[in-house]
Amino acid sequence: MITNGAVALRRLKSPGHRGPLVVAALLTAVVALPDGALHSWLTLAGGLGEMLVAMPVEATSLLLLTLGFPLLLIAVVVVGATVSWPLTRPRRPGTSALLGIALGCAAVVLGLSVPGQDYGLLGVGVLTLIGLPFAWLLWQQRAAGPAGGPAGRWRWAVAPLLVAATVLTVTQYDPAEARFALARPTLTDWAEHALTTGQAAPEWVAGYRLTEAELADNGVKFAIAGSGMFAHHGYAYFPSGAPAHSHYTPLGNDWYEWSGPDRF
């Protein structure tokens, strides 16, 4: 473990330790700018990934074979040109690699914590969890380091445990429901203030970037920036109840979830 600040700073300046910084910067940019171009491109990547998962196995295999073979060929050429042979046994993963995995898992959970899902964050998470292990293995063959790597055999178990905990969390619990439950008191205060003043403006509230905020049907509704792929998703607060024959899904305590029309 690094306890000297100067040593830690020198480590971060080396190419092999910049990965987590890049992932953290990417994650921060996507969260802070949910309507930016970067978020849009990552949303496209996340959507394509979901389409591949939803496709029949035969179609997915054919597509991966068609697109993956040229990429695999390029990867083989790059690896052959940059890696020294014979290959060395990978050392124990360092803190930087484990931090990158943790950031990837966090991006997945955050992506599932909004209504309609945030495909930009999911794109960051999936690309990190898929790309980082390959980058780490490649770096192991190029970078010199102490035999065996950092101390502690427990390091081999950290990444699998992080991924397993993430899978367990998103399959056994609803991250969007849990996040909304934590944010509900603050959102209720904001909604009550909007109804009192007659003004509802886009802003950051309880960790959500509220957009399309408006007073409607004796209540207030808003979309969550970055949510959904083909339609906006958001929440609505109706103290007197939702309008009859509406498309709102009740969440309790006068709160409702909604999704807008398809944008395509």
Report pTM.
0.79
pLDDT score of 193: 95
Distances (CA, A) of 212 to 121, 209, 225: 21, 10, 9
Rg of the chain over Cα atoms, rounded to whole angstroms, equals 22
pLDDT score of 111: 92
Residue 231 Rama label (left phi>0; alpha psi -120 to 50; beta): beta
Take residue 226 and report the two structure tokens written for it. Answer: 């970055």
pLDDT score of 49: 65
**Who's near 224: CB < 8 A, 6+ residues apart?**
114, 115, 116, 208, 209, 210, 211, 233, 234, 235
pLDDT score of 1: 47
Take residue 165 and report the two structure tokens written for it. Answer: 């905990």
pLDDT score of 194: 95
What are the start-end ranges of the H helices in the chain? 5-13, 19-32, 37-54, 57-82, 95-111, 119-142, 155-172, 175-197
* Residue ranges covered by each domain of the chain: 5-173, 177-259
Positions of the chain with pLDDT lower than 70, given as ranges: 1-18, 47-89, 141-151, 262-264
Cβ–Cβ under 8 Å, residues 118 and 176: no
**b/e map of 110-140 (b: 16 or more CB within 10 Å)?**
bbbbbbbbbbbbbbbbbbbbeebbeebeebb
Cβ–Cβ under 8 Å, residues 236 and 115: no
pLDDT score of 241: 86
pLDDT score of 26: 83
Take residue 156 and report the two structure tokens written for it. Answer: 């081999």
pLDDT score of 29: 86
